[in-house]
Structure 1
Amino acid sequence: MLYRPKIHLKHKVLKYLYFIGTAFILFYFSTLDSYAQKPHVDGSLFREGLLELKFKENWKYQPGDNPEWANPDFDDSDWYKINPIGLKAYQMPDSLWSGFGWWRITFTADPNTVESIERLYFNSWGAAEIYLDGELVETYGNFSTDSKLEKTHTPNYAPDRPLKITPKDVHTLAVRFSNHQAKNNFNIFRYFAENLGFDIGFSSAVRAKFSDFRYPNSFATLSVIVAVLFILLVLHVLLYFKFRKEEPYLVITLITFFFLCAAICAHILLFFELNGFTNPIFSSILNSTAFGLGYGLLPYSLSSLFRIQKFYWTRHLVWLALFRTANYFIPVFNFILFDATIILAVIVLMVIIMRIAIKEKNRGALYVTFGAIGTSVFLLVNRMVNAELITLSTFLYYVDLILLYISYPLGIYIYITNQYGRLFLAMEQEVEVRTQQLNETIRDLTKTQHELSLKNNQNVLLLKEIHHRVKNNLEVVSGLLALQSAKMDDPTMQEVMLASQNRVHSMGILHQKLYQSEHLAFIEMKNYFENLCINILDSYNETDRIKVNIEMKELEMDVDTAVPLGLIVNELLTNALKYAFPKGEKGKIELSLESLSEDNFQLKIRDNGVGKALDAKIRGTGFGTQLVDLLTRQIDGNLMQDVSNGTMILINFKRQVAAGSGQV
């Protein structure tokens, strides 16, 4: 007989307890697992007052449109697990995206957390209807299954919208969503196409207060950046135009300009309502390209500023910015990895260049080091925040953004002003020494100037006296001619003597005007012509019958030109009085002198008489005509006449300045 061990009752009880315990544990963990399917929302998830529903494994998606899907009791267990947060268009299969669909998430919430929620946070470039526990709580844009009727939402700087959640054990959030344009345009913008999906969450009082001031805070941040960069840009432009041979000033000016453009493009939504198609052009592509061009020039600006020629090749780094822009359309490299590589490479280059500059004892290089390295560090921090590798408070984020744009231009300007400050101090010491020397020279020059002034005044008085005596001598000659003419019986000879007397008198008037004028080398022609015409009319006793009209502006002429002009006017006016009005009728003569250009003038004498040509042989010797021709050639002039309606004579000539006379 085989031996069968005896089974005690105790062992049976333990066996049944083990079975029951195992079943209980399995049931317990299955219960926990089913409970874990619903994410739990509590206060620990708030970040600066914002609780984002970033539960990647709990979001459900279904293409199409059915209002029943807003019902919290609807069974969505067979829906697709697709996270809408950060969803790019190329990540959504075409079979699931025809431009619209629904997202749902079911979660539990701590009652105290629910009571602290005051606002709904939603960020998207699509159109959406938000349902919470079956109730429509908010709309963004205009949802439509038809792309032509859809009006997408622009995530500008508006505050988060009010929301009050009724406390309960389980909540269901459903988002009826459409975004036709993102799918249509993703082939163009690929990486930088705006999200096909959305970001959503809840805001507490802390976040609500921030969102109310989002626009003024962002505008104030941009204003600080733009104001500082604009002032620095103006200062760098002035430095460049002051010292055009300094190429670093041009490069630094370009960097500041690119940073300014990038800052404005990054905040373009402050001024314009854009959509998911146009926003990447400004806030992503133009902003990134402008900043990339400026950032790529940093190593070259340092090497040229400190004259480190072996690093001048770094000017070619700007091509990387253009290549980076091209990479938006034709992806070759991973964008984040490419950006990080470029930033680190630029930092390494700048560290090497700055180390050489400091080693060569370039004073003030630390200011540039702060600006250049600071810009790179703040840029790295900004990229890490955007990639959610680190978190910063809102205040620190704004500070980082401001320093990112202004550090380098500001550091460079401090360096330049420091350099010029040192230069000016050295110059001041040199100026003090030179000033003493100049003061001694000035005293000697003042003494010499005083002596020269006395001699000059004596020369002026002497020259005026000479003109006065010449005028008196000419008056004597004119008087002698008048006495001689009175003793002659031949009318022809009397006429010749009168003409000669007028010629002498014309020169006498000129010398009279010269010694009466403040400028001994010039004479005012209008007043001279007026006196000359009065004298000629009086000499022929034609004051009442013939009127001379002088239409010209006041014009000064040098003596070398005024003398022949006076004689020419004397001859032409005499000729008009003698031959233009033969029957004793009344007449009018027009006289003018005008400037055609800087050194070219035109003399015009016109009468309304019978229209005899200047060289018409009526009577007389023809000496006056010969004299006019001679004087015209003397002033390098060209004489033209028109006798179709009276007589008009034009003489175009150039100003005649004797060698060594100069102008006063």
Structure 2
Amino acid sequence: MYLKWFYIFGILLLAFNAQSQSTTPENEVYSIQDSLLQGSFMEVYLPDLIGWKFSPYDHPEYSSPDYDDSSWYTTTTPLREESAIPDSLWNGFGWFRLKVKMDSDELINSIIQNFGGTGAIEFYINDSLVFKKGNPSVNPEFQELKGFNNQLGDLYTFEKGENYQFAVKYSYHDYNFWNSFSFNRVRHDFGLSLISVKEINEFATFIKSHSGVNAAALVVLLMVMLLHFFLYRKSKIKDGNFWIFLITASIFIYSLAMNVDNFWSTSSFFWRAFLLGLTSLFSAVSIGLIPIVSHKVLEVKAGFFWKYFLHFILLSYLLDMVYRSTKYFEEQINLLLSLALVLAAIVGGITASIKAKKKKKKDIWLVAGSLITFPFLMLLGIVFIFFNIQHLLLLSLLYFFLFTIIPIGMSLYQGKKFLRMHSQLDAMVEERTSELEQAMKNLRQSHEDLKAAQTQLVQQEKLASLGQLTAGIAHEIKNPLNFVTNFSDVCLELVEEAKTELRVATKAQVPTGERNGIDTLLDNLQEILQTIETNLQKIYEHGNRADGIVKSMLLHSRGGSGKMELTDLNSVVKEYVNLAYHGMRASKNPIDVVLEFDLDIDIKEIPLVAEDFSRVILNLCNNAFDAMREKTGEPSYKPVLRVRTGKQNSTVLLSIGDNGRGIDPKIADHILQPFFTTKKGTDGTGLGLSLSNEIVQAHGGEIKVESTPGKGAKFIVVLPTSL
């Protein structure tokens, strides 16, 4: 509505100019001269001619050149003015007659054109029907309105210097209702003009250019609208993007509806009225959004008036419809009010720019410049019309920027703000990246330190295991060494006795008759030597045993070769369970434990790294001893360690179970994790079961845990029978 008013204002100026050059023709014949041609396409707008005869009645002879219309009402002002026909004569129907003389060279060959928004028309020249739109009738029921926007008629050839009788049959019932949809046309303005044929090609060129510029403007508006809708949905900068999308969508709908109205050749008068109403509504919305959108985009607080300016605009739009339908205001007053609201909207946008300037915001010139440029473009359009400037390129650019300058300015401002934020984010990302690199460096160092600590803890665990093993070995070595010591003493005594006997036997001079006594002595010596031999065998046996124990201890402490070899599982299990038991017995907190072995004799040799697997047995037994030690205070409690082996398909099972307190279900999933321990202080490193699990997995097996809280736990080692 408001954008159109600037062009209407220009047309009114042209009409005023044409009126000031017109004079009442002599002898009631109006001379059509080249000086009356106006507009971009050199046309004569017939309702602007003065001296039309009017009758509110209907008769077929009214189109005849011979009919006497001297008693009809004669207009003294152009028909586009409301006062041209008195209210007492206009009832929605009438005939208009005007006798003219064709004195124009340009209009010898003319095309008749009708502008949109008029009622039903029949146009006669010398009683010949040359143009018809709809069906004009004095009876509203028989009137038929057509909704064509700009309709071209047939070619008519005039003779220069000849007189012609123009007669127009025109009806526009329900004018007040239809005109409220912003047709912006006086009730008796039938909207016919004569256009020179040679201007039609220029008119067609203008229409094509207008279509191209309009399509370009719509594409730009659509791109801006979709861009900011996408940014509104995806970006964190939501507020400004939403408001730019809103005002761009409003201008887009306005421009689309206006151009559909201009180029859609519909004959439905209702749809013509609807499109014009939609155009006016979104024109009002577009103007009304300028202040609040400017404040939102520039991120400044809007005052009460600017915050609700859109409401004032919409109210004025509704009042405009009511006033137009009731003729409460003259069109000139309505025009001035519309211009005032447009300028007020621009002032609201400039006010937001000033507030943003005080807050030292950047790039506000993009918004302020587009707002200031907008009214200058509208003023330039009026100047083009007033001075009849027919520069197609300038008109096209003017139209294009008139619809796109404000959305483009605000979109560029938002884009610059986004780029600034992007630069700030880049700097922040670079800073965070540097911090993360330093943190990663620290993390790697911490990881290396942790690996060193873990290696140290593993070594400590080995040493702890070696300490327990040493205690068991010391206990085991003690007995064979006692045998060695005792039997060595006995042998020494026997050797001494044998020496004594030999000396006696040697010195004795025994007669031949006493030989029997010597034989007895020799028998005793033989017995002593036999005993010495037996004792030496025992010394050798137990010495070898002690040597084997020491070798096992050395292999355990050094870690062995790490190669799998076929090994007797039952033998290894029995040996290291006993070592663990004696180690526990030699510790500071020994307990009495009953060892129950149930070893499957069918299990032969399986691939094992014996020195590694021995640690598994020691760790499981030691954990079982610790678990049972906690329960020894209970009455009638007898610790029992049950060790079993058996076959299951292609695997062998080693089960080591105790009757201690069992494992809490809450921690059952964590006991095989490194550094997890329930022991207090320095009693445990949390690596025993973890290392045992790793050793078993290295053998291609797994450790399963079964526990009943309060009754004990069982660790089942599953091992493959082959490599």
Which TM-score band applies after superposition, normalised by the shorter structure? 0.5 to 0.7
The residue type paired with residue 60 of structure 2 is: P
Is residue 304 of structure 1 aligned with residue 303 of structure 2?
Answer: no
Q: How many residues align?
A: 451
User: Given the alignment, which residue of 244, 247, 250 partners 1:252?
Assistant: 244
Residue in 2 that maps onto 1:133: 126
For residues 178-257 of structure 1, the aligned pairs below 5 Å read: 178-182=171-175, 185=178, 192=184, 195-212=187-204, 216-243=208-235, 246-257=238-249
CA contact (8 A) 2:112 2:153 kept: yes
Q: Which residue of 1 aligns with 2:419?
A: 421
Whole-Å Cα distance in 1 between the matches of residues 398 and 140 of structure 2?
40
CA shift, 1:242, in A, is 3.6
Q: State how far apart, in whole Å, the 1-side matches of 2:365 and 2:94 are.
A: 57
Cα distance change, pair 193–278 in 1 and its aligned pair in 2 (3 A): farther
Contact 2:240 2:414 in 1 (8 A): no
CA shift at 1:415, angstroms? 0.9
Aligned residue in 1 for 2:159: 166
- Give unpaired runs (5+ residues) of structure 2: 1-22, 455-568, 574-597, 603-647, 654-668, 670-703, 709-723
Alpha-carbon offset, residue 132 of structure 1: 1.9
Q: Map of 1:494-533 to 2, 5 A cutoff?
A: none
What's the CA shift for 1:262?
A: 1.7
CA distance change for structure 1 residues 393 and 158 in 2, over 3 Å: closer, same or farther?
same
TM-score w.r.t. the length of structure 2 is 0.52
Give the aligned residue type for 1:134: D
1:320 to 312, 316, 340: 312
Alignment of 1:393-408 (within 5 A): 393=390, 395=392, 396-408=394-406
Unmatched 5+ residue regions in structure 1? 1-30, 457-471, 484-503, 510-520, 522-561, 565-626, 628-664
Q: What is the aligned partner in structure 2 of residue 86 from structure 1? A: 80
Match of 2:170 in 1: 177
Paired residues of 1:41 and 1:107 also in contact (CA < 8 A):
no
Asked whether the equivalents of residues 25 and 31 of structure 2 are also in contact (C-alpha less than 8 Å), the reply is no
Q: Is the 8 A contact 1:300 1:313 kept in 2?
A: no
Alpha-carbon displacement from aligned partner over 1:560-599 (angstroms, at most 9, x marks no partner): xx999xxxxxxxxxxxxxxxxxxxxxxxxxxxxxxxxxxx
How much identity, in percent, do the aligned residues show?
Answer: 22
Match of 2:697 in 1: none
Mapped contact 2:111–2:152 kept (Cα < 8 A): no
Q: CA RMSD in A?
A: 4.9
Indicate conservation of the 8 Å contact 2:353/2:364, yes or no.
Answer: yes
Aligned position for 2:564: none
Distance in 1 separating the partners of 2:311 and 2:396: 30
Distance change (3 Å), C-alpha of 1:123 and 1:297: closer
Match of 1:169, as an amino acid?
Answer: E
Question: In the TM superposition, what is the alpha-carbon distance from 1:234 to its structure 2 partner?
Answer: 1.3
Matches within 5 A, 1:572-591: none
| Structure with greater contact order relative to length (CA < 8 Å, sep ≥ 6) | 2
Q: 1:544 — aligned with what? A: none
Q: 1:54 to 1:330 in 2, by over 3 A?
A: closer
Counterpart residue identity of residue 59, structure 1:
W
Q: 1:449 to 1:167 in 2, by over 3 A?
A: farther
How far has the Cα of 1:312 moved from its partner?
Answer: 6.0
> 1:159·1:208 contact (CA, 8 Å) conserved in 2?
no
Is the radius of gyration larger for structure 1 or structure 2?
Answer: 2
Structure 1 residues 60 and 292: alpha-carbon distance in aligned structure 2, compared to 1, 3 A threshold: same
Secondary structure at the counterpart of residue 319 of structure 2: helix
Counterpart CA distance in 2 for 1:32 and 1:158 is 30
1:366-418 CA-to-partner distances (Å, cap 9, x unmatched) read 11012222334445666x589x8675648455543432321111101111112
8 Å Cα contact 1:248/1:304 also seen in 2: yes
Indicate if the aligned counterparts of 1:159 and 1:213 stay in contact, CA closer than 8 A.
no
Residues 347 and 373 in structure 1, CA contact (< 8 A), matched pair in contact too: yes
Map residues 203-602 of structure 1 onto 2, 5 A cutoff.
203-212=195-204, 216-243=208-235, 246-269=238-261, 270-271=263-264, 273=266, 275-283=268-276, 285-309=277-301, 311=303, 313-331=305-323, 334-379=333-378, 393=390, 395=392, 396-429=394-427, 431-432=429-430, 435=433, 438-439=436-437
1:20-52 superposed Cα distances (whole Å, 9 cap, x missing partner): xxxxxxxxxxx9962585233225624323322
- Aligned-pair distance for 1:320? 1.1
Judge conservation of contact 2:231–2:241 (CA < 8 Å) in 1: yes
* Amino acid corresponding to residue 182 of structure 1 in structure 2: Y
| 8 Å CA contact retained: 2:113, 2:151 | no
Corresponding residue SS for 1:172 = strand
Equivalent position amino acid for 1:178 in 2: S
Structure-1 residue corresponding to 2:100: 107
Q: Which moved more, 1:190-199 or 1:152-161?
A: 190-199
Whichever residue aligns with residue 368 of structure 1, its letter is V
SS of aligned partner of 1:330: helix
Distance 2:265 2:145 in 1: 15
Query: How many angstroms apart in 2 are the aligned matches of 1:32 and 1:182?
Result: 29
Letter of the 2:259 partner, please give it. Answer: H
Q: Is the alpha carbon distance of 1:102 and 1:432 closer, same or farther for their aligned partners in structure 2, counting shifts above 3 Å?
A: same
Q: 1:193 to 1:107 in 2, by over 3 A?
A: closer
CA distance in 2, matches of 1:226, 1:248: 21
Q: Distance in 2 between matches of 1:286 and 1:337?
A: 22
Please, which of 69, 83, 89 is the counterpart of residue 96 of structure 1? 89
- Alignment deviations for residues 80-103 of structure 1 (CA, whole Å, 9 cap, x no partner): 234674366x98556534543321
